[in-house]
Amino acid sequence: MQRDNSSGSMNVAACLALALVLLCALATAAQSRRTGSLAEQKAARYFDSIRESPPQMLAFLRKMPKGGDLHSHLSGAVYAESYIQWAASKGSCVNTATMTLSQPPCDPGSGQIPAASALSNPVLYRQIIDAWSMRYWQHSGQNGHDHFFDSFGKFGGATFGQMIAEVASRAAKGQVSYLELMLTPDRGSSSLIGEQVGWDGDFEATLNKLKSRNIDSATLNAAKAIQEAEAEKNTLLKCATPQPDPGCAVTVRYIAQVARAAPLGQVFAQMVTGLAMANDPRSKVVGLNLVQPEDWLLPMQNFKVHMEMLNFLRPRYPRAHISLHAGELAPGVVQPEGLTFHIRESVMKGHAERIGHGASIMNEDDPYGLLKELARRKVMIEICLTSNDVILGISKKQHPLAIYLQHGVPVALATDDEGVSRSDISREYLKAAEDHGLGYVQLKTMARTSLEYAFLPGQSLWADQRKFIPVSQCAKDIAMANEPSPACKQYLASSEKARLQWKLESQFKAFENEY
């Protein structure tokens, strides 16, 4: 009897101990949801401890997982050194006065020499790099804005495949797992049709004319060009070999560019082609964006018409996504009136789900009301710190990043034109930490936000996108850092977006465990 009582007492004690363990685990899990995991806290404390050493911060940030880069112009993302090599291999010519490329044969009387000359002429080599990028732009005799945009008319001649391979490889080195690259996939065929049709202000009639001129052929041309580009990219990165470049693991999607400085007929035709491609669930083109300087004459004159075009076309292509450059402006760049409505109109009439730059937000009419509306609609801002600095002179406290954060507007860091700007994604994160005082947890939130607002199919991993609370199917798996359960696996299998988000969380777990 005594032995039986003792055994019973031991069982009760064991049960109490087990209950305490379970309660402790639940409390720990709840605390982790409130304050982040212990590993996250240690990584954050380490990052704070090296704040006085930018080189150490950069080393930390180069290893940090960053999710997606959602604002990257393909042509501007390539470094000048690569363009020189490609130009030399193709026998292109360079004008020694303007540093502008042209097709062979070279005309010495016009100052043209083979681009290959730069490979044996260090002075010419560095002059070309300076002309094709923002390196030492302060000595160019131009302001940052003009030197930046003028550079795009000087280089070129590369294939889409060559450019995508370089950008994807660099993204992988910067711990980016997803890219949305802006390009003109139809290589101008829709613009040609739009030029033939013209513009008379009648949306429906113009759309019908474009269809009668077989505007769908531009979509087919674009699809074929992307397919060929990806095949070339995979070959260059050796994706089918036992030792593929890390860039092969980066998921790449495309944003169709619309040249907002073109005549209205061409703009409308480009919109139709871009939206049609993005509306096709089989297409790797996932969205549309208007490019070229917002402050140029035609983009300023035609801005409202462009928004009306999008407002007309958007319901006809319901699956297509839209991100718009808006507010890439500063006082003095345009008339004061031109600063007051671009962001609001891009969202309200242009149906923008994301805004690129948004640097002039506080110059808009009723800026605080607009900030509240952006937060309510969950319109994400693609923050391009280096670009805004060198082009517009907006940096540090003059930049509205802190204002967006204070008002709950989702934001994510992006490179814009890392080749021309001579930057990369890790240095964008460093600039956010140095110039804006952001800590590790804030930077981690931006990385998560980038995938949350990526134009990818499928449901999110997060039931609460602000607090990053996972969906019920995967809640225990993330909280306990487990491999996905059958329910979670099934959920992930149904959503490309959720799979990339799960991958990012796994990368964060491995990264933070180092600290």
Read off the pLDDT of residues 96-105 as tens digits, 9 standing for 90 and up.
Answer: 999 999 999 9
Q: Are residues 91 and 233 in the same domain?
A: no
Using an 8 Å Cβ cutoff, are 251 and 177 in contact?
A: yes
Instruction: Identify the band that residue 274 occupies on the pLDDT scale cut at 50, 70 and 90.
Output: very high
**For the residues 296-305, what does the mean pLDDT come to?**
98
The CATH number given to whatever domain includes residue 350 is 3.20.20.140
Going by pLDDT thresholds of 50, 70 and 90, the confidence category of residue 479 is: confident
Both structure tokens of 102: 């042209």
Region of 369 (left: φ > 0; alpha: ψ -120 to 50; beta: rest) is alpha
Residue 272 included in any domain: yes
Query: Mean pLDDT score of the chain, rounded to an integer?
Result: 93
Query: Has residue 412 been placed in a domain?
Result: yes
**Mean of pLDDT values over 475-489:** 85
Same domain flag for 119 and 138: yes
Lowest mean pLDDT among 72-76, 236-240, 264-268, 279-283: 279-283
Instruction: DSSP letter for 412, please.
Output: E
Burial class (CB in 10 A: 0-12, 13-18, 19+), 425: buried
- Which of 130, 151, 172 delimits the end of a domain? 151
pLDDT score of 501 more than 60: yes
Domain span including residue 125: 80-151
Mean predicted confidence (pLDDT) in 416-441: 98
Number of domains in the chain: 2
| For range 4-33, the mean pLDDT | 42
Q: Of 410, 438, 466, which one is at a domain's C-terminal end? A: 438
| Whether residue 224 sits in one domain with residue 95 | no
pLDDT of 10 > 60? The answer is no
Q: What is the pLDDT of residue 30?
A: 45
Give the pLDDT score at 149: 97
Residue 256 has pLDDT above 80, yes or no: yes
Rg (CA), the chain: 26
Examine the domain organization and report whether 197 and 170 are in the same domain: yes
Q: Tens digits of per-residue pLDDT, 186-238?
A: 999 999 999 999 999 999 999 999 999 999 999 999 999 999 999 999 999 99
Shared-domain flag, residues 135 and 261: no
pLDDT at residue 123 in the model: 98
Residues 95 and 169 in one domain: no
Residue 143: the pLDDT is 97
Pairing of strands 93-95, 285-291: unpaired
pLDDT digits (tens, 9 = 90+) for 392-419: 999 999 999 999 999 999 999 999 999 9
In a domain, 292, yes or no: yes
From 407, 438, 469, the end of a domain falls on 438
pLDDT at 16: 42
Q: Is residue 455 part of a domain?
A: no
User: Does any domain span residue 349?
Assistant: yes
301, containing H or E segment: helix 297-301
Task: Judge whether residue 436 has pLDDT over 80.
Answer: yes
Tokens of 118: 């730069």
Average pLDDT over residues 51-80: 98
- pLDDT (0 to 100) of residue 223: 94
Task: Kindly tell me the sign of the dihedral angle through the C-alpha atoms of 306, 308, 310, 312.
Answer: negative
Ramachandran area for residue 34 (φ above 0: left; ψ -120 to 50: alpha; else beta): alpha
H-type alpha helices, 90-236: 122-131, 144-151, 160-173, 189-197, 203-212, 216-236
Q: Are residues 215 and 359 in the same domain?
A: yes
pLDDT of residue 481: 64
Sign of CA dihedral 278, 231, 260, 209: negative
Average pLDDT for 22-42: 58
Residue 304: is its pLDDT beyond 60? Answer: yes
CB 384 within 8 A of CB 411: no
For residue range 335-381, what is the model confidence (pLDDT) as tens digits? 999 999 999 999 999 999 999 999 999 999 999 999 999 999 999 99
pLDDT, residue 478, reads 84
Return the pLDDT at 27. 41
Task: Please indicate, yes or no, if residue 489 is contained in any of the structural domains.
Answer: no
Q: Tell me: pLDDT of 19 over 70.
A: no
Q: Would 353 be classed as within a structural domain? A: yes
Q: Is the pLDDT of residue 131 over 50?
A: yes
**Same structural domain, 105 and 194:** no
Statement: residue 2 has pLDDT above 70: no
Both 193 and 284 in one domain: the answer is yes
Question: In this structure, are 94 and 242 located in the same domain?
Answer: no
**Distance of alpha carbon 306 from alpha carbon 311, whole angstroms:** 9
Tell me, yes or no, whether 452 lies in a domain. Answer: no
Is residue 165 domain-shared with residue 139, that is, in the same domain? no
Residues 138 and 172 in one domain: no
Per-residue pLDDT for 480 more than 90?
no
pLDDT tens-digit map of 100-129: 999 999 999 999 999 999 999 999 999 999
**E strand residue ranges, 393-500:** 411-413, 462-464, 469-470
Q: What is the Cα–Cα distance from 143 to 490, expressed in whole angstroms?
A: 54
Return the closest-CA partner of residue 443 out of 36, 157, 80: 36
